[in-house]
Chains A and B, each alone.
Chain A
Amino acid sequence: GIQVEQSPPDLILQEGANSTLRCNFSDSVNNLQWFHQNPWGQLINLFYIPSGTKQNGRLSATTVATERYSLLYISSSQTTDSGVYFCAASDTSGTYKYIFGTGTRLKVLA
């Protein structure tokens, strides 16, 4: 099955800094999403982005499906951005089974 890897595993930033999180996947995908998991465990949908580029405020994401990677950009980071960021993808089999990456644990310092 599809494998999803994320980098870096951990990231510490000063408030106001920018960052790029990467997600690599091993096979063609039909679906790809980015999530933020808050301290209570809730997964917050950030982007549904099987291809192309999207932006939402200080966050943006780009997926280059032909090269099997996706990037999440966080600009002007805030302490509230802290948490774990996951990407998840499902392959082209039509099952919609999303496989999660290992996650990036982000800590933004005031």
Chain B
Amino acid sequence: GAVVSQHPSRVICKSGTSVKIECRSLDFQATTMFWYRQFPKKSLMLMATSNEGSKATYEQGVEKDKFLINHASLTLSTLTVTSAHPEDSSFYICSARAGAGELFFGEGSRLTVL
């Protein structure tokens, strides 16, 4: 299957700083990537759709200025959590569509904001 790589896997930062998470499709091109957020013992919640060469589409209730998404190439999307606060602590996971419609997920990034 297709491979999606996410980095970093864990990050700890101080409140008020910004954190960037990278999502790469390693063996295929992805015009569309998706960012999800997961709280402990909960399901995955779709945050936004990342479109190569254009603005991301955010789901209702997701702050665009808080979660900046850039999809500069066919293999890379980035999520930047700006001015992070403890309530932004979560597991963030990206995915990319390969082929007909199957999604492949990265390993996820666990963010802890102190």
Contacts and interface: CB of A to CB of B under 8 A. Distances in A.
Interface residues of B, number: 22
B107 A41 contact: yes
B43 A31 contact: no
Contact of A30 (B34, B95, B101, B103): B101
Contact of B46 (A41, A50, A98): A98
Contact of B49 (A30, A95, A102, A103): A95
A25 interface: no
Nearest to B4: A43
Interface in B59-114: 91, 93, 95, 97, 101-105, 107-108, 110
Interface in A53-99: 86, 88, 90, 95-99
B44 interface: yes
Nearest to A103: B43
The 10 closest A-B pairs by CB, nearest first: A31-B101, A43-B105, A48-B102, A100-B44, A41-B108, A100-B43, A102-B43, A96-B97, A103-B43, A42-B107
Interface of B: 1, 32, 34, 36, 38, 43-46, 49, 91, 93, 95, 97, 101-105, 107-108, 110
Interface of A: 30-31, 33, 35, 40-43, 45, 48, 50, 86, 88, 90, 95-103
